[in-house]
Structure 1
Amino acid sequence: MIELTIADGLAEIVLNAPEKLNSLNEAALGELGAAYDDAAAAAAAGSVRALLLHGTGRAFCAGRDIAGVDGANDDARGYLEGLLTPLLRKMSSFPAPTFAAAQGACLGVGLGLLIATDVVYVAENAKIGSPFGNLGATLDSGGHWLFTERLGAHRTLDLIYSSELISGAEAVAAGLFSRAKPAGELLEFTRAAAARAATGPTQAFNASKALVAEIRDQRLGLWDAVVRENGAQVALSATADYAEGFAAFTAKRKPEFTGR
């Protein structure tokens, strides 16, 4: 159900099981991880400089595929710690800018895939929240972190206790994700953004990606962040794209970045 294509510096990974709303079982998680591995290898070789993740049909990803799962004997630890969390870490550390276009249901694992992506654009009518109370379970895949960080404790627990789903437009207004678009425009808008990033200064983008993660995870203060920015800039000053950017600015032309 996982498809990977690479063209013009852009890797596209597609969740293609619309008949089950792109829900993911153990095998599908393995396929998705392998697709990210292949795309990362292409990035290391210089042929991938951005990545786009999206799903086909009415939903981005409705969560875990629990068809045939016996709740009384479910290996939740094996699924979450053995499969899902390593995948999300792999996605988060992908060595190039990553984008996601998300329509319809973005729940559970589906929400986790978005949390692990750099830039997320959602359809205005996307559905986001925590319906886990209906299963006697709790929100996973990093959802508690996302909601608490962006919405605060009270709104987070309201969503969890009520199992209420909010729209993509509401999610963007609340600061959960970057932009909301009409469903019919979403994929092409996101693909265009990813394609632009694929022609940009990849090493500079990766430096910013690492800095943002460090500021978020280590709660850096202003001057600690400045020290790290200075180090990143010094390292970038030795790259070909840095030289090209300055030369293009001086010549008043568009830079032609190579990712090196």
Structure 2
Amino acid sequence: MDRRTPIGSGTVLFEFGDGVGTVVLNRPERRNAISWQLVEDLLAAIERARSERGLRVLVITGAGGDFCVGADLARVASGNAEDRETRTLRGRSVADDLERLTHASTVVEALVSFPMPTIAAIDGACAGAGLALALAADFRIAADRAAFNTAFVSAGVPGDLGSAWLLTRAVGDARARALLLDPGRFTAAEASDWGLVTETTADLPGRLRELSGKLAAQPPKAMLYAKQNLADAGPATLPDYLRREVPRMVDCAHSRDAKRAAEAFLEKRKPVFTGE
């Protein structure tokens, strides 16, 4: 039985079980190209995941053998205005486009700021804005056969959805400049060598289950605070960062989960964390 629930118009599916929420981009006939409908459904799915009691890990992936090829460029040239406006990010005017893309950009904000660990499970093509979505996750696991491309400049545009910001933080300034200004296809192995993906695997579903299960078993408050520490580490000065880090550390150290971890260590067994 398929436990995946369609969100909104059905361009995104959501599944939740055993502490793991899975968001599936669901336009396989368009290789999960980003449309206005998909943006709305994806934002709704992320909000749904935030509201799920007991969710400890969020996975984002694509249906049909691809992650996401980016914007639906084939629909941009459509002569049908309604078709163009619902299936692309294009609206009726420059002002409309500015409003739409500003709204669409909140997707990467929602993923980067998601309180629990996030995993992008990447199979097949991952390009353009689809690559930006993957870069917004904490972990990026790629199938050996996955193929990447920044793609933007080749399409006559500089990039969106925070692509340069995210890419620079993933691979460093020099590599980001090369990838964005001289776009071209690169392999999962190259992406791994450059630090763009966390790891590659011949068994994406199996490795995804292993990692998501491991993360879901970790103490949730410690994971939440660790993500907040990571978010603060970049923009804050060291004194400011330490003022934020210390209360989080003390709060966790006095939690029941910390006590459970210590007891399990002494008793040489695996702890079971409850979030208390």
TM class by shorter chain equals 0.7 to 0.9
Residue identity over aligned pairs, in percent, reads 31
Q: 1:109 & 1:90 partners in 2: Cα distance?
A: 15
Show the counterpart of 1:187. 205
Match of 2:115 among 95, 112, 133: 95
Q: Shift in Å at residue 254 of structure 1? A: 1.3
Show the counterpart of 1:238. 254
Q: 1:177 & 1:215 partners in 2: Cα distance?
A: 21
Q: Shift in Å at residue 73 of structure 1? A: 4.8
Q: Shift in Å at residue 8 of structure 1? A: 1.2
Q: 1:117 & 1:152 partners in 2: Cα distance?
A: 17
> Conserved in 2, the CA contact under 8 Å of 1:12 and 1:52?
yes
Q: Shift in Å at residue 121 of structure 1? A: 0.8
Equivalent position amino acid for 2:38 in 1: A
Task: State how 1:159-238 maps to structure 2 within 5 Å.
Answer: 159-182=179-202, 185-216=203-234, 218=235, 220-221=237-238, 225-238=241-254
Match of 1:41 among 29, 34, 51: 51
Q: 1:252 & 1:154 partners in 2: Cα distance?
A: 46
Equivalent position amino acid for 2:41 in 1: E
Higher relative contact order (CA 8 A, sep 6+): 1
Show the counterpart of 1:55. 62
Q: 1:67 & 1:227 partners in 2: Cα distance?
A: 50
Equivalent position amino acid for 1:235 in 2: D
Show the counterpart of 2:129. 109
Q: Residues 153 and 239 of structure 1: is their aligned pair in 2 closer, same or farther, counting only changes over 3 Å? A: closer
Q: Shift in Å at residue 55 of structure 1? A: 0.9
Equivalent position amino acid for 1:30 in 2: E
Q: Shift in Å at residue 225 of structure 1? A: 4.6
Structure 2 counterpart SS, 1:22: coil
Match of 1:9 among 13, 16, 19: 19
Show the counterpart of 1:137. 157
Q: Residues 197 and 150 of structure 1: is their aligned pair in 2 closer, same or farther, counting only changes over 3 Å? A: closer
> Conserved in 2, the CA contact under 8 Å of 1:115 and 1:142?
no
TM score, norm. by length of structure 2: 0.83
The alignment status of 1:156 with 2:176, answered yes or no, reads: yes
Structure 1 counterpart SS, 2:56: strand
Q: Shift in Å at residue 229 of structure 1? A: 3.4
Show the counterpart of 1:78. 99
> Conserved in 1, the CA contact under 8 Å of 2:115 and 2:227?
no
Q: Which moved more, 1:172-181 or 1:73-82?
A: 73-82
Q: 2:179 & 2:98 partners in 1: Cα distance?
A: 24
> Conserved in 1, the CA contact under 8 Å of 2:118 and 2:139?
yes
Q: Which moved more, 1:28-37 or 1:69-78?
A: 69-78
> Conserved in 1, the CA contact under 8 Å of 2:105 and 2:160?
no
- Gaps of at least 5 residues in structure 2 are 1-10, 78-89
**Aligned-residue CA RMSD (Å):** 2.2
Show the counterpart of 2:8. none
Q: Which moved more, 1:73-82 or 1:163-172?
A: 73-82
Equivalent position amino acid for 1:192 in 2: E
Show the counterpart of 1:147. 167
Q: 2:108 & 2:267 partners in 1: Cα distance?
A: 42
Q: Shift in Å at residue 3 of structure 1? A: 0.8
Q: Shift in Å at residue 208 of structure 1? A: 0.9
Show the counterpart of 1:28. 38
Q: Shift in Å at residue 219 of structure 1? A: 5.5
> Conserved in 1, the CA contact under 8 Å of 2:22 and 2:60?
yes
